[in-house]
């Protein structure tokens, strides 16, 4: 690995400029480095030489960073000898005294590992482990363990992305099966390495897949290691023990019952590292949540009983620790922005940092687990990151659910809550309110005698001078909505307190109050009807004073109100004013603004309850949605666009049009006129209709876009003949077997809709392919098609096709009849099922021979639907007569009960 000394000396002279901060020197440095690297494939060798020999900290650091960059570019062109020299040189640098330099060396080693493949990558990691196993200096141990931890982290991270290919998965399998065992064995045999390998071990057990494998295959090794490593005071060692206990609980809970305490209690109290506390709190909550529902599982029932007995003994101490942990710390304050503490900022425009990314999660996709009301306060009440305070509140919530009926446990809670509420320190008082809200769900019945006074106190506190106290008071009131709706004498006072805070002078209080009000809406929306005028007045005032960020949650408030109150909202005095303001906002809000998607979803929710009344606003809504779709389609063709096109806007706009069209279903002629007259126009004056725009959008190939656009085409198919064109049929046919079940499901459903249209003959050329693809889904064992929704839609669509194309489908009955009958028999009896059964009956009548081998299933399906109109009964009777006439012996072999049931109903 020879170098040119003249070139090396010149490079060294250039790198000496790194210590100079003036612009000219830095420009000269960059120009000369670029010139040095240009046209050569051995720059990394020179950078390594500088790193090995320079005594200047900044020069050595810069050369290592340049070495890391050049490795990826030059590796493939290097000779075997040069590669070996780079290996040895970089590993030699592990012993450098400077921690900052060692960190860069570790990063270089990670880059070097990424360039290895096959057996070379295995040899590489074992070399690192060998270095750790030897009696190396502390500096070498620290740097090599850091490198190994980063390598393990990268292996796990890259393996989760299918685009990284087979090689990435092979490295992961090696880590999971071989390297993990070597690391565990090395750490077990050399306790002095615990402090170095504990971070690597933590990263390994953080991966569910790795953890499951090592616990299944190396449980005894892991268990012995835990016993040894639990004595180490290093934070990474503590976190590893806690994370490992969590994984073992899921795998073999009975084995750790005796080991959980006092380790959970002591770790929750260990404030030397908040991350250790968080791991302990997460472990406690995880266990409590896992044992909430164990009915029918005797083993878990016994484990639950033993765990709760052991935990019960710890509660007097543990609850005190948890309550203390609900106080704000510097970490909590760092996770918030200054607007949480400002007295009056409602009129202050949001900064760029205040505004979230453009991504907006649709209501239908949002997480709906039991802890969402705790999570809802994350940004408005507790900041943006998970902290000890949040973990403690969640643990208190879970403890209250486990012991909600225990008066002694409640007494412990109340003792600390009352003491903290009486404190003159507002932060301690705030933590008491958080604790009270946290235990509300599990202890609601036990708290009921105290709640009138509690609610009165919270209402007063909601007007406190401290914004954070106002926020937490609103949240805590919202935790008692079930009590309030059952004791309506306290409802109005509480509701008005929340609505007043929606107009607070602090933006984060406004946000917290909106979040709290949605809890009122979702708990018992109809009980809000007497207060609708006051609610809408508050919303209209909020529209006038809110800044950009809070509009998103305000739109959520309006949409949730519409969903939960329903039609009475239409009779509210201020409802027309609200709709007019929403139309104004729809027209004026930039489509790229984060709140635009929330506004579209809000209008969708309102459309669903307004019904035909939306015709007044339909033109404005449709025109704006088409403009949005056309704008994104145009963006997608702009090669100079700074970022990817905002296809999520197309998704939301399509969903909004679907809701609008559905609301106007009673006047199909008006819908057609609306769709024909509302067109998007480009700069040249060319006009685009909705079908053309949807087809153009689908060319993006994105699953979310396909899902929404195809769903809309299906909705339009009921009334709008312009959908019945070959490009649409081709789009739907090509997506029946799409990899994403949601796309396939919508394509299947849309085809069923088109098959009912008077111009359905356009499907004829594709009919056989459609039926065969639908049959493939029914008969497939793929997990993608185990979704009941798609199977049901396949059956309904096949039935509709049979109903309208019996001559074309009758001979294909053997392809789908068995699974069709089996699945459809168990579905609820509704109009769609009746239509599908009647379609099958027509196909059977056309070709009873094709139905012979599935006769019993067909008869059972017919009998599963109760008698209805004469035309339906006649179709089923004709089909059975055709079967009996054509397949007499087979009919006689059908089970007596089935045959007799058919005789009584159809041939009596």
Query: At 749, is the pLDDT very low, low, confident or very high (cuts 50, 70, 90)?
Result: very high
Tell how far CA 696 is from the center of its chain.
28
List Cα–Cα distances, 623 to 450, 661, 691, 713, in angstroms: 54, 13, 14, 17
Contact 651, 705 (CB under 8 A): yes
Q: Which of 744, 742, 743, 634 is nearest to 697 (CA)?
A: 634
At CA 560, angle to CA 558 and CA 565, rounded to 5?
A: 95
Contact 44, 79 (CB under 8 A): no
Residue 481: both structure tokens together = 């909505």
Query: At 136, is the pLDDT very low, low, confident or very high (cuts 50, 70, 90)?
Result: confident
Counting DSSP H helices and E strands in the chain, the numbers are: 48, 2
750 lies in some domain: no
φ/ψ region of 243 (left if φ > 0, alpha if ψ in -120 to 50, else beta) reads: alpha
Report the pLDDT value the prediction gives residue 219, as an integer from 0 to 100.
94
Report the pLDDT value the prediction gives residue 379, as an integer from 0 to 100.
45
Query: At 681, is the pLDDT very low, low, confident or very high (cuts 50, 70, 90)?
Result: confident
For residue 587, count other CB atoms closer than 10 A to its CB.
12
Domain that holds residue 783: 766-908
Query: At 868, is the pLDDT very low, low, confident or very high (cuts 50, 70, 90)?
Result: confident
Which one is predicted more confidently, 377 or 736? 736
d(CA 827, CA 821): 10
φ/ψ region of 200 (left if φ > 0, alpha if ψ in -120 to 50, else beta) reads: alpha
Summarised one tens digit per residue, pLDDT across range 87-125 is 999 999 999 999 999 999 999 999 999 998 888 899 999
How many folded domains does the chain comprise? 1
Give the DSSP per-residue string, 283-321: HHHHHHHHTS--TT-HHHHHHHHHHHHHHHHHHHHHHHH
Report the pLDDT value the prediction gives residue 722, as an integer from 0 to 100.
93
Summarised one tens digit per residue, pLDDT across range 354-369 is 776 655 666 555 444 4
> Average pLDDT over the chain, rounded to whole?
91
Beta strand pairing call for 680-681 and 687-688: antiparallel
Q: Which of 251-265, 461-475, 652-666 has the highest mean pLDDT?
A: 461-475
d(CA 6, CA 11): 9
For the chain, what percent of residues have pLDDT higher than 70?
96
d(CA 770, CA 733): 6
776 lies in some domain: yes
Contact 96, 102 (CB under 8 A): yes
d(CA 824, CA 836): 9
Contact 436, 461 (CB under 8 A): no
Burial class (CB in 10 A: 0-12, 13-18, 19+), 363: middle
Query: At 377, is the pLDDT very low, low, confident or very high (cuts 50, 70, 90)?
Result: very low
Residue pointed to by tokens 């051995």:
42
Tell how far CA 638 is from the center of its chain.
31
At CA 714, angle to CA 713 and CA 720, rounded to 5?
A: 70
For residue 493, count other CB atoms closer than 10 A to its CB.
13
For residue 479, count other CB atoms closer than 10 A to its CB.
22
Task: Say what angle helices 451-461 and 491-501 make with each other, to 10 degrees.
Answer: 20
Contact 246, 281 (CB under 8 A): no
415 lies in some domain: no
Summarised one tens digit per residue, pLDDT across range 794-827 is 999 999 999 999 999 999 999 999 999 999 998 9
Report the pLDDT value the prediction gives residue 890, as an integer from 0 to 100.
74
- 475: CB partners within 8 A, 6+ apart: 377, 380, 381, 437, 512, 515, 516
**Rg for the chain, CA atoms, rounded:** 34
Lowest mean pLDDT among 215-224, 291-300, 417-426, 564-573: 291-300
SS3 688: strand
Residue pointed to by tokens 């024909």:
676
SS3 616: helix
491 lies in some domain: no
Report the pLDDT value the prediction gives residue 296, as an integer from 0 to 100.
80
C-alpha count within 13 angstroms, C-beta hemisphere, residue 32: 17
d(CA 315, CA 322): 10
Contact 718, 665 (CB under 8 A): yes
Instruction: Give the mean model confidence (pLDDT) for residues 309-331.
Output: 95
Contact 433, 420 (CB under 8 A): no
d(CA 760, CA 773): 19
Instruction: Give the mean model confidence (pLDDT) for residues 35-42.
Output: 88
Report the pLDDT value the prediction gives residue 376, as an integer from 0 to 100.
44
Range list of H helices, 589-667: 594-610, 615-636, 647-663
Q: Which of 512, 434, 427 is nearest to 466 (CA)?
A: 427
d(CA 382, CA 437): 14
d(CA 137, CA 140): 5
851 lies in some domain: yes
Lowest mean pLDDT among 194-203, 374-383, 587-596, 679-688: 374-383
Instruction: Give the mean model confidence (pLDDT) for residues 657-684.
Output: 87
Return the HEC string of 176-189: HHHHHHHHHHHHHH
221 phi and psi, to 5 degrees?
-60, -45
For residue 377, count other CB atoms closer than 10 A to its CB.
25
883 lies in some domain: yes
190 phi and psi, to 5 degrees?
-130, 85
Q: Which of 536, 624, 621, 534 is nearest to 577 (CA)?
A: 536
Residue 393: both structure tokens together = 């509140």
φ/ψ region of 561 (left if φ > 0, alpha if ψ in -120 to 50, else beta) reads: alpha
Residue 657: both structure tokens together = 């049009």
Give the DSSP per-residue string, 804-872: H-HHHHGGGHHHHHHHHHHHHHTS---HHHHHHHHHHHHHHHH-GGGGGGGHHHHHHHHHHSPP--HHH
List Cα–Cα distances, 428 to 55, 324, 421, 468, 839, in angstroms: 54, 9, 7, 12, 69
Q: Which residues of 249-274 are buried (b: 16+ CB within 10 A; e: fewer)?
A: beeebeebeebbeebbbebbbbeeeb
Does the predicted model carry a pTM greater than 0.75?
Answer: yes
For residue 348, count other CB atoms closer than 10 A to its CB.
12
Lowest mean pLDDT among 150-164, 257-271, 315-329, 707-721: 150-164
Report the pLDDT value the prediction gives residue 360, as an integer from 0 to 100.
62
Instruction: Give the mean model confidence (pLDDT) for residues 193-212.
Output: 94
Report the pLDDT value the prediction gives residue 855, as an integer from 0 to 100.
87
Q: Which of 689, 694, 717 is nearest to 707 (CA)?
A: 694
d(CA 20, CA 38): 24
Contact 102, 94 (CB under 8 A): yes
Give the DSSP H/E element, type plus range, for residue 685.
Answer: none
680 phi and psi, to 5 degrees?
-90, 145
- E strand residue ranges, 521-622: none
Instruction: Give the mean model confidence (pLDDT) for residues 502-516.
Output: 97
Handedness of CA 598, 602, 603, 608 (dihedral sign): positive
d(CA 448, CA 458): 15
């Amino acid at each position: 690995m020879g170098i040119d000394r003249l070139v090396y000396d010149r490079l060294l002279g250039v790198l000496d400029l790194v210590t100079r901060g003036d612009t000219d020197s830095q420009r000269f440095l960059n120009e000369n480095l670029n010139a040095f690297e240009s046209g050569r494939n051995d720059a990394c060798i020179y950078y390594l030489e500088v790193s090995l020999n320079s005594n200047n900290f900044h020069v050595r650091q810069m050369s290592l960073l340049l070495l890391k960059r050049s490795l990826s570019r030059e590796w493939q062109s290097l000779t075997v000898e040069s590669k070996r020299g780079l290996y040895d040189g970089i590993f030699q640098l592990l012993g450098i005294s400077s921690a900052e330099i060692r960190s860069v060396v570790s990063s270089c080693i990670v880059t070097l590992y990424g360039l290895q493949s096959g057996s070379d990558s295995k040899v590489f990691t074992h070399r690192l482990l060998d270095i750790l196993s030897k009696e190396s200096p502390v500096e070498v141990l620290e740097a090599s363990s850091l490198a190994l931890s980063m390598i393990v982290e990268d292996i796990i991270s890259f393996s989760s992305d299918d685009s990284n290919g087979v090689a990435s998965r092979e490295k992961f399998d090696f880590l999971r099966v071989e390297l993990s065992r070597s690391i565990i064995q090395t750490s077990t045999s050399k306790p002095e390495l615990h402090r170095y390998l504990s971070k690597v071990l933590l990263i390994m057990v953080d991966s569910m897949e790795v953890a499951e494998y090592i616990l299944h295959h190396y449980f005894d090794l892991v268990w012995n290691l835990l016993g040894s490593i639990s004595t180490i005071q290093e934070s990474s060692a503590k976190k590893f023990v806690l994370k490992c206990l969590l994984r073992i609980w899921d795998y073999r809970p009975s084995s750790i019952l005796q080991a959980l305490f006092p380790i959970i209690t002591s770790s929750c109290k260990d404030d030397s590292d908040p991350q250790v506390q968080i791991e302990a709190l997460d472990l406690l909550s995880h266990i409590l949540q896992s044992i909430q529902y164990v009915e029918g599982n005797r083993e878990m029932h016994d484990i639950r009983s033993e765990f709760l007995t052991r935990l019960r003994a710890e509660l007097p101490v543990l609850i005190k620790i948890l309550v203390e942990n609900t106080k704000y710390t510097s970490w909590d304050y760092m996770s918030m922005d200054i607007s949480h503490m400002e007295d009056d900022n409602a009129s202050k425009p949001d900064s760029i940092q205040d505004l979230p990314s453009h991504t907006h999660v649709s209501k239908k996709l949002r997480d709906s687990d039991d802890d969402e009301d705790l999570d809802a306060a994350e940004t408005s009440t507790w900041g943006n990151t998970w902290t000890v305070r949040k973990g403690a509140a969640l643990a208190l919530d879970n403890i209250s659910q486990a012991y909600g009926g225990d008066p002694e446990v409640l007494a412990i809670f109340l003792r600390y809550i009352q003491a903290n509420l009486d404190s003159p320190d507002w932060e301690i008082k705030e933590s008491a309110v958080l604790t009270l809200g946290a235990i509300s769900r599990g202890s609601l019945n036990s708290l009921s005698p105290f709640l009138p006074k509690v609610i009165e106190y919270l209402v007063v506190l909601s007007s406190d001078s401290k914004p954070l106290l106002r926020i937490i008071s609103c949240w805590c009131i919202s935790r008692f909505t079930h009590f309030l709706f059952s004791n309506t004498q306290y409802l109005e006072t509480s509701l008005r307190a929340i609505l007043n805070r929606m107009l607070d002078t602090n933006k984060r209080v406004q946000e917290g109050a909106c979040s709290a009000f949605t809890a009122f809406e979702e708990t018992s929306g109809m009980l809000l009807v007497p207060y609708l005028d006051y609610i809408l007045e508050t919303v209209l005032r909020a529209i006038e004073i809110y800044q950009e960020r809070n509009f998103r949650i305000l739109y959520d408030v309006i949409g949730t109100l519409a969903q939960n109150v329903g039609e009475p909202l239409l009779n509210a005095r201020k409802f027309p004013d609200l709709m007019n303001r929403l139309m104004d906002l729809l027209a004026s809000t930039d489509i790229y603004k984060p709140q635009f998607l929330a506004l579209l979803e809000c209008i969708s929710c309102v459309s669903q309850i307004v019904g035909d009344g939306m015709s007044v606003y339909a033109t404005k809504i449709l025109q704006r949605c088409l403009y949005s779709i056309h704008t994104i389609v145009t963006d997608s063709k702009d090669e100079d666009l700074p970022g990817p096109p905002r296809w999520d806007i197309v998704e939301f706009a399509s969903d909004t049009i679907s809701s609008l069209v559905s609301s106007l279903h009673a006047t199909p002629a008006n819908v057609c006129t609306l769709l024909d007259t509302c067109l998007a126009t480009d700069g040249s004056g060319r006009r685009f209709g909705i079908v053309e725009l949807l087809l153009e959008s689908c060319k993006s190939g994105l699953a979310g876009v396909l899902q929404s656009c195809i769903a809309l085409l299906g909705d339009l198919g009921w009334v709008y003949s312009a959908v019945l064109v070959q490009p649409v049929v081709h789009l739907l046919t090509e997506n029946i077997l799409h990899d994403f079940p949601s796309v396939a499901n919508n394509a299947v459903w849309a085809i069923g809709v088109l098959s009912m249209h008077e111009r359905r003959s356009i499907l004829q050329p594709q009919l056989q392919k459609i039926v065969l693809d639908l049959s493939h889904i029914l008969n497939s064992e793929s997990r993608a098609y185990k979704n009941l929704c798609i199977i049901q839609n396949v059956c309904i669509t096949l039935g509709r096709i049979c109903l309208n194309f019996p001559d074309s489908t009758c001979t294909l009955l053997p392809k789908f009849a068995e699974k069709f009958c089996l699945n459809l028999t168990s579905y609820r009896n509704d109009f769609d099922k009746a239509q599908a059964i009647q379609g099958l009956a027509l196909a059977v009548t056309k070709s009873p021979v094709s139905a012979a081998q599935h006769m019993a299933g067909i008869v059972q399906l017919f009998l599963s639907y109760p008698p209805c109109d004469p035309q339906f009964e006649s179709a089923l009777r004709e089909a059975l007569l055709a079967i009996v006439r054509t397949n007499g012996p087979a009919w006689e072999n059908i089970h007596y009960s089935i045959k007799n049931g058919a005789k009584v109903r159809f041939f009596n």
